[in-house]
Amino acid sequence: MSQVDEVLHQHRERAQTRDLRLEGLTKEFASFTAVKALDLVVPTGTFFALLGPSGCGKTTTLRMVAGLETPTSGRILLGDDDVTYTKPYKRPVNTVFQNYALFPHLDIAENVAFGLKRRGIKDVKGAVAEMLELTELSTQATKTPGQLSGGQQQRVALARALINRPEVLLLDEPLGALDLKLRRSMQVELKRIQSEVGLTFVHVTHDQEEAMTMADVVAVMNGGVIEQMGSPTELYDNPRTTFVANFLGQSNLVAGEIIGVDGDVVKADMHGTTVSVPRERAHATSGKGWIGVRPEKVLIARTGERIDAPGNHMTGAVVTDASFIGVSTQYRVRMAWGQEITAFEQNTGLREVLAPGTPVDVSWRPEFAFLLDASQDVTAGLGEV
Amino acid sequence: MTPLQRVGRWIGDHLVLALGVLVIVYLVVPIAIVALMSFNDSSGSRNVYKFQEFTVSNWANPCKPEGLCDAVSTSIQIGLLATIVATTLGTLAAFALARHRFRGRSGANMLIFLPMASPEIVMGSSLLALFVAAGFGGQLGFWTIFIAHVMFCLSFVIITVKARLSGLDDNLEQAAMDLYATEAQTFWRVTFPLVFPGILAAALLSFSLSFDDFIISNLNAGQTVTFPMFVWGAAQRGVPMQVNVIGTAMFVIALALVLAGGWNQRRRATAKAA
C-alpha cells in the first residue's frame, strides 16, 4: 500500500465509528450570543444540514467545529476525542469556505495537494490526479484559481478539502455564489460525491430547498438555538414551531381554540368549524393554537362541487388571486372569517383556472394538518433569508 | 463622409496615441540627454553642458573625478543598509497594524504619515537639532544619515506592505490552518508569498528614496559625502561627465531589473499554461 493509501485507510477505519457531538456549545461575542447551549449529534456518514436565516449562528457553529472560533463554553467531541480547544490543523476536519479561499499563488494541483503535503506525505501525485478526476478538473491542474469559473473554483475548494478524507467535511454555504442552474447541478454532484466517499458532511445553508434536496438530516437554527431537527420530510410535514413552518416552505396558520384530545386526534375549533389534527402532529393540547396546513394540501372547489377530502368543508370563501405557473396554480383565497390562505393546485387538466371572485369551498385531509402552540409569533421565519 | 468629418475621425483615432507619445518623449528626453552627455568629451571646453565630441573615456574611467566613486559607494552602502532595516522593521510594523487591535493603533496609523507629509527641510533640520541636542553633534556622518534614511523609509514601507496586507483575504490563512498547516507553515507557505510583492516594492522604493535623498542627508552628513551631495557640490564648478555615466548606469540597471522581472513572470505564466 502506498503512503497515501495507508493514511487514508487509517482515516476511513477510524471514521467508521466516530460521531460528531456538540454538547452545550455556546459562543458569546461582545454584544450578543451567537450560539446558545447547542446540543447536537451528527452520526458518522450522514449528510447533515444546518439551515437557518443569516445571523442564526450556523456559521459560527461550523467555525467552532473547524477550530477557527473558540467556544465560550461547551464541548465538541469526535468519537471520544474532545477537540473543543484543539488547533484547527490538528483536527481531522476540513472546510469548504463560502468564498472558496483558494490560494491564488498556487496552481490547482498545488491547491489540492496542500493538505496532504502539510501532513508530510511526499508522493501526492496519484491522490491529486484521482481527486481532480472525481471533481472533473483534470484539465485544469496547471491553471491558477483566477483563471477558473465560479463553478470550477467551487469544485477545487471541494477537492482540496476532500482529498484529506476528513472525518467531517464542513461546507459553509458552498453554493451561495453560483447561479441557480449551476447550483442545482452542484447539489446533485455534492450528494453523489458524499455517498461515494461516505464521509460525514455538515452543510451550512440558508437555502431551505438546498438543505432538503441534499441532506439526510436537517437542523433548523434560529437565534442561536436549534428549533427542530429531523429528516426533510419530517420537518416539512410535522413542523414543531411557527418558525420552522414558515421558514421551511410555506404554511397557512389559522388561529383556533383547542377542544382537547380525542383518541388519536386533537380537536380544535377553527372559527366555528371543528377540525381534527393527528395526535403526533399536535404540539399543543389545550388553550389557543395555530392550525397549520401546507398550501398544496389545501383543496378548493366551486361552491357546492365535490371535494375529494373527508374533512370538514369550509364554505363562504372567495378566490382573491390566481397565478398560473404552468405546473400548478397558486390561489389566494379569502376565508369566511376574513383571513387569506394560500392553496397550490396541480395542473392536472381537470379544471380551468378559477378566476378571482369565484366563490369556493375549502377543505383538507385532517391527517395533513398540524397544530402549534399559539404563544409563538405567527410571522416567525417569514421573509427571512 | 465629408473631408472635414474624415479629418475629425483621423484626429479622433490618433489623438490619444499622439498625446501618449508626447508624454513618453517628455519623460525620456532628460534621461536621453544624460545618456548622451555621458559620452561627451568636455576636456578643453569651459561649457560642460554642451556636447563637444564623442568619447568613451568617461565610461572607461568613471572614478576619475576625485571623490565621485567614494560618494557613490557611500550612497549604495547607506541605501542597502537603510533598505534592509526599514523593510524588516516596516514589514513587522505593517503586520501589527493590519492584524492586531491595540491601544494607540489609530494614533500610530496617523503618525506614520507624518514623515511623508512634512517637508524634508523641516525633517532634516529637526533631526540635526535632535542629534546635536543628544550630544552627537561631533559624530554626524554615515550613521546619522543611515538613521535619518531608515526613519523616512519606514513610513513608505509600512504603508506599502499594509496596503498589500489589507487586500489579502484572511480566509486564506484560515484555510491553510484548516488544511493542516501550522502557524509557521501558514505564514511561510501562504501569507509571505502573497505579501512578498508588496515587501519587494517597498524595498525598491526604500533604496531609491535613500539613494536619491539630498536635503535630509546634507543637513545630517557632517563630513560624509553622498552621491547627490557630490553632484550638488560639483555643480558649483561644472559637473564632471562621469556623473552622467553613473546616472546612466543606474538607469540601465533599474531598467534591466524591471525587464527581468517582467520576463520572469511571463516565463512562469507560459510554463504553467503549457
- Of the partner residues A88, A102, A104, the one whose CB lies closest to the CB of residue B177: A88
Is position B124 within any domain? yes
Q: For residue B135, what are the CA distances in angstroms to B130, B140, B222? A: 9, 10, 14
Amino acid occupying residue A134? L
Q: What is the pLDDT of residues B102-148, one digit of tens each?
A: 898 989 988 998 888 899 999 999 999 999 999 888 888 899 999 99
Query: Which residues in A lie closer than 8 A to residue B199 (C-beta atoms)?
Result: none
* Distance (Å, whole) CA B229 – CA B227: 5
* pTM more than 0.80: no
- A357 touches B at CB < 8 Å: no
Tell me if B178 and A143 make a contact (CB, 8 A cut-off): no
Q: What pLDDT does A15 receive?
A: 47
- Would you place residue B226 in the very low, low, confident or very high pLDDT band (cuts 50, 70, 90)? very high
State the ipTM, two decimals.
0.80
Is position B18 within any domain? no
Q: What pLDDT does A135 receive?
A: 85
Tell me if B181 and A114 make a contact (CB, 8 A cut-off): yes
Report residue B89 as a C-alpha cell.
522593521
More confident residue, A230 or B241: A230
Amino acid occupying residue A376? Q
- Mean pLDDT computed over B80-97: 95
Question: Does residue A263 come out as left (phi exceeding 0), alpha (psi in the -120 to 50 range) or beta?
Answer: left
Tell me if A103 and B169 make a contact (CB, 8 A cut-off): no
Total domain count, chain B: 1
* Distance (Å, whole) CA A83 – CA A59: 18
- Mean pLDDT computed over B200-223: 92
B84–chain A nearest CA distance, Å = 25
Q: What pLDDT does B48 receive?
A: 64
Helices (H) and strands (E) in chain B, counts: 13, 0
Q: What pLDDT does B194 receive?
A: 93
| A46 contacts A217 by C-beta, under 8 angstroms | yes
Q: What is the pLDDT of residues B15-38, one digit of tens each?
A: 888 899 999 999 999 999 989 988
Could you tell me the mean pLDDT of each successive run of 10 residues in chain A, 385 residues long?
Answer: 56 65 93 92 93 91 94 94 94 93 94 94 91 89 92 91 92 86 84 86 92 93 93 94 93 93 91 91 91 93 83 87 93 94 90 91 91 89 73
Amino acid occupying residue A193? I
Which range (A46-55, B54-63, B207-216) has the least confidence? Answer: B54-63
Q: What pLDDT does A96 receive?
A: 94
Angle between helices A108-118 and A125-134 (to 10 degrees): 130
What single-letter DSSP state applies at residue B40? Answer: B
Which CATH number covers residue B180? 1.10.3720.10
Is position B143 within any domain? yes
Q: What pLDDT does A369 receive?
A: 92
Is position B56 within any domain? no
Domains, chain A, with CATH or none: 3-92+165-237 (3.40.50.300), 250-373 (2.40.50.100)
Q: What pLDDT does A378 receive?
A: 85
Range of the structural domain that residue B229 is part of: 66-239
Report residue A296 as a C-alpha cell.
398544496
Is position B38 within any domain? no
| B152 contacts B220 by C-beta, under 8 angstroms | no
- Of the partner residues B178, B181, B193, the one whose CB lies closest to the CB of residue A94: B178
B179–chain A nearest CA distance, Å = 5
